[in-house]
């Protein structure tokens, strides 16, 4: 059962990038369950449609690539024209893989920066211009903890997420006067996700879980709960914050994420 009131987002309109799978999908399910109408953006139209069919008529697929600023602007403007405004934006779209810095190509580095960082900027700016500068709103960026220390084979993703944290703080200051709160959630390793399956070294699961103070990986609904809090009026004074939800993993020392 949810810890939040079931009508917490009644009448609100949200957009979740990366909402077709994994953590993003869990965030969409939670927003829908608490009353919101939620558009989901990703490149794979078939997967978006399947997710929307599973989550019901208040989940709307919007196929698009967050790297394409013009396409993003058109999709966000279309959503606002249909729904009247955009109250909540969750930037969850990301790409990642393990690669040593020495052999990662410049294009590989740039691809991850373009999806994670430029994509977050493109969608945030489109949301600001189409609705939030007039009506206010809440933006929640999905970050990570891998740049708090140094994580080998993650120079691209660590750089991308560090920039997202900087963007979170900068836009919180620049857009605060318009009634827009900008925050981030930084998950640790989360069960049943593409991210964990791509990044968890073979045979390391048990050791990694033991190294976490809460002695386990996170679960998708736990990240959704952190996002619901930051997007809701319960966090009405919170802006520019990065909420770490990782069971204490990064504090306890070297690990993958």
Q: Tell me the closest approach of the beta carbon of residue 61 to ligand NAP, in angstroms.
A: 10
CA atoms of 38 and 60, how far apart (whole Å): 6
What single DSSP character describes residue 176? G
Copy the structure tokens of residue 247. Answer: 């069971």
Site residues (CB under 6 A) for ligand NAP? 17-18, 20-24, 41-44, 47, 65-67, 92-95, 115, 119, 142, 144, 187, 189-190, 193-196, 257
Q: Measured from the CB atom, is 137 or 188 closer to ligand NAP? A: 188
Contact 49/41 with Cβ under 8 angstroms? Answer: no
CB-neighbour burial class of residue 81 (10 A; exposed 0-12, middle 13-18, buried 19+): exposed
CA dist 204 and 200 (Å) reads 7
Q: How far is the CB of 92 from ligand NAP (least distance, A)?
A: 5
Distance, in Å, from the CA atom of 245 to the CA atom of 248, rounded to the nearest integer, reads 8
Which CB atom, from 143 or from 239, has the smaller least distance to ligand HXC?
Answer: 143
* CA pair distance 202, 126, nearest whole angstrom: 40
Query: Nearest to ligand NAP by Cβ — which residue?
Result: 22
Q: Which CB sits closer to ligand HXC, 107 or 210?
A: 107
Rounded least distance, CB 183 to ligand HXC, Å? 18
Q: How far is the CB of 254 from ligand NAP (least distance, A)?
A: 16
- Nearer residue to ligand NAP within complex by CB, 18 or 137: 18
| 105 binding partner (options ligand NAP, ligand HXC, none; Cβ < 5 to 8 Å by kind) | ligand HXC
Give the nearer residue to ligand NAP in terms of CB position, either 24 or 137: 24
Q: Which does 17 bind (CB under 5 to 8 A by kind): ligand NAP, ligand HXC, none?
A: ligand NAP
CA angle 85, 245, 91 (to 5 degrees): 30
- The CB-of-50 to ligand HXC minimum distance in angstroms stands at 16
Rounded to whole angstroms, the Cα distance separating 195 from 64 reads 21
* Minimum CB distance to ligand NAP, residue 11 (Å): 26
Report the residue count for the chain. Answer: 257
CA distance 136 to 147: 30
* Residue 133 or 216 with smaller CB distance to ligand HXC: 216
């Amino acid at each position: 059962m949810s810890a939040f009131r079931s009508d917490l987002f009644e009448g609100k309109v949200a957009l979740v990038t990366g909402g077709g799978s994994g953590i993003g999908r869990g965030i969409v399910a939670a927003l829908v369950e608490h009353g919101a109408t939620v558009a989901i953006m990703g490149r794979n139209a078939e997967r978006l449609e399947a997710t929307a069919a599973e989550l019901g008529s208040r989940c709307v697929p919007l196929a698009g690539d967050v790297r394409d600023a013009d396409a993003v602007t058109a999709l966000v403007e279309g959503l606002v024209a249909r729904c009247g405004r955009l109250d909540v934006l969750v930037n969850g779209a990301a790409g990642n893989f393990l690669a040593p810095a020495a052999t990662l190509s410049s294009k590989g580095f740039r691809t991850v920066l373009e999806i994670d960082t430029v994509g977050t900027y493109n969608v945030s700016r489109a949301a600001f211009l189409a609705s939030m500068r007039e009506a206010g709103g809440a933006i929640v960026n999905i970050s990570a903890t891998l740049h708090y220390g140094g994580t080998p084979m993650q120079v691209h993703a660590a750089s991308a997420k560090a920039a997202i944290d900087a963007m979170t703080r900068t836009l919180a200051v620049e857009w605060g006067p318009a009634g827009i709160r900008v925050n981030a959630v930084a998950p640790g390793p989360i069960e049943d996700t593409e991210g964990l399956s791509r990044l968890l070294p073979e045979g390391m699961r048990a050791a990694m879980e033991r190294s976490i103070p809460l002695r386990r990986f996170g679960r998708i609904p736990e990240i959704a709960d952190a996002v619901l809090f930051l997007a809701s009026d319960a966090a009405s004074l919170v802006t520019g914050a990065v909420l770490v939800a990782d069971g204490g993993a990064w504090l306890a020392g070297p690990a993958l994420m």
